[in-house]
Amino acid sequence: MSHLFAPYALGAHPLKNRIVIAPMCQYSAIDGLATDWHMIHLGHLALSGAALLFTEATAVSPEGRITPADLGLYSDETEAALRPVLQAIRRYSPIPVGMQLAHAGRKASCAVPWEGGQCLSTAEGGWQTVAPSALPHAATDTIPLALDTTGLQRIQDAFVASALRAHALGIDLLELHAAHGYLLHEFLSPLANQRTDEYGGSLENRMRFPLAVFDAVRAAVPASMPVGVRISATDWVDGGWDIEQSVAFSRALEQRGAAFIHVSSGGISTLQKIPVDPGYQVPFAARIREEIEMPVIAVGLITEADHAEKILADGDADLIGLARAILYDPRWPWHAAAQLGETVDAPPQYWRSQPHEFKKLFGDTSPKKK
């Protein structure tokens, strides 16, 4: 058996292979509410043959949205809008569904990417952003309000409330977004966090609030619900967050019962210089995996089945996260299974689609008597 199609487990959730659909923002919600787009998009990916599907970054409060079109889970209305989407997935696919909970911090209140992505003023439909320190992401952005003790507690409570809503919806796993320059990452990075209180300065202090949020969420949901974290392993800026600090943060999360670490990079600074090549983030995942026992998800320009197989065979990660590659090819797991001589789940409505040379691709497709 190939490594990519070997079974695995996250907590009590068995995974049929090592392919994870990573969170991908769609900027297609209305006032935080899921729309028909989410039904089509997530439903489509749920039939892909991957082992685990994450929803996009889901805001824990209205001001935590990256754009006015971000998905949210912070009210009865946003919870109700997601329910039929998840019910449809459950009806037609056995895939476990995870949710990434997020707060965009100083990178909130922006236009959607295809409209420029610039920071929006209140007159343009934006809102006042918040952050660890009153430092904007870009020089032209609105200056965020530095969070006080009350604000920190409000955000921690929002993460907990959203986690409880996710559990009520039947979400299988949670991932806290501490990457890509958003709020929890802003606390970790000295480039965004210049506080002089117990939440700034030393590594221990900068980790304090993200770890408090993790602890609160972990305590709020049942032990059977795995909770992991996505990190940016490096800021790609001298003097910023780096792999050594990421190892320390990962160890602290593991000690607190984190179920997995999802290793990405960048996003905190407009000065970042990223050498983008296939698998450019995999060395960070590999380094962290050397230091911890919990599962590691590698992501970042992993587009070919052979490459994914090698990453796993070399012991650089436990799971492979796909994002843009599976948007481009929503049947990527089918094609990878065909290439590696493996089988993959597909709904019976699609069984007739398998090419003759891969007639065992979907396993036993003989008619079943009732």
Give the residue numbers marked as catalytic: 182
Q: Smallest Cα–Cα separation from 192: which of 263, 137, 125? A: 137
* Contact (CB, 8 A) for 50 and 59: no
CA distance 349 to 237: 49
Backbone angles phi, psi at 84, to 5 degrees: -65, -30
CA distance 363 to 360: 5
Across-strand partners of 100?
57, 175
Pairing of strands 173-178, 227-232: parallel
Per-residue HEC secondary structure of the chain comes to: CCCCCCCEEECCEEECCCEEECCCCCCCCECCECCHHHHHHHHHHHCCCCCEEEEEEEECCHHHCCCCCCCECCCHHHHHHHHHHHHHHHHHCCCCEEEEEECCHHHCCECCHHHCCCECCHHHCCCCCEECCCCCCCCCCCCCEECCHHHHHHHHHHHHHHHHHHHHHCCCEEEEEECCCCHHHHHHCCCCCCCCCCCCCCHHHHHHHHHHHHHHHHHHCCCCCCEEEEEECCCCCCCCCCHHHHHHHHHHHHHCCCCCEEEECCCCCCCCCCCCCCCCCHHHHHHHHHHCCCCEEEECCCCCHHHHHHHHHCCCCCEEEECHHHHHCCCHHHHHHHHHCCCCCCCHHHHHHCCHHHCCCCCCCCCCCC
Q: Which residues contact 357 (CB under 8 A, 6 or more apart)?
A: none
